[in-house]
Amino acid sequence: DAGVTQSPTHLIKTRGQHVTLRCSPISGHKSVSWYQQVLGQGPQFIFQYYEKEERGRGNFPDRFSARQFPNYSSELNVNALLLGDSALYLCASSPRTANYGYTFGSGTRLTVV
């Protein structure tokens, strides 16, 4: 059974550009969450989706948006990239939202120059 897959694995963008990160959850998992991890810090919550509806949003600016598709895959979009957006972006899935541990993907390393 495939784990959580994220694409691309690495990405270099220029300030002001837009980026789309993609995530495929484990088959049967309906909950997908996105986290940002800056070097030396723990992951910070960005979004959670369950059954294609947004269930939670972290303290991130409106430049960050996401959506979940009918097949439960998800996209994270970031507009007007800043140098500070450079980070590891992690996608995680779980069967449902309550009292379940997450399975994380290997992440997308985004570098903004």
Partner 1 sequence: SQQGEEDPQALSIQEGENATMNCSYKTSINNLQWYRQNSGRGLVHLILIRSNEREKHSGRLRVTLDTSKKSSSLLITASRAADTASYFCATDSTGYSTLTFGKGTMLLVSP
Nearest 10 degrees: CA dihedral of 99, 72, 86, 16? -140
| Cβ proximity to partner 1, 83 vs 98, nearer residue | 98
The stretch among 16-24, 64-72, 73-81, 95-103 that binds partner 1 (CB under 8 A) is 95-103
**If binding is defined by CB under 8 A, does position 48 make contact with partner 1?**
yes
**If binding is defined by CB under 8 A, does position 43 make contact with partner 1?**
yes
Identify whether the C-beta of residue 47 lies closer than 8 Å to the C-beta of residue 33: yes
Least CB distance to partner 1 at residue 25 (A): 13
Nearest 10 degrees: CA dihedral of 43, 4, 1, 101? 30
Least CB distance to partner 1 at residue 34 (A): 11
Q: b/e string for 30-57 if b means 16 or more Cβ within 10 A? A: bbbbbbbeeeeeebeebbbbbeeeeeee
**If binding is defined by CB under 8 A, does position 45 make contact with partner 1?**
yes
Q: Which of 19, 29, 33, 76 binds partner 1 (CB under 8 A)?
A: 33
Count of C-beta atoms within a 10 Å radius of residue 20: 13
Q: Which residues bind partner 1 (CB under 8 A)?
A: 4, 31, 33, 35, 37, 39-45, 48, 50, 55-56, 58-59, 88, 90, 92, 94, 97-107
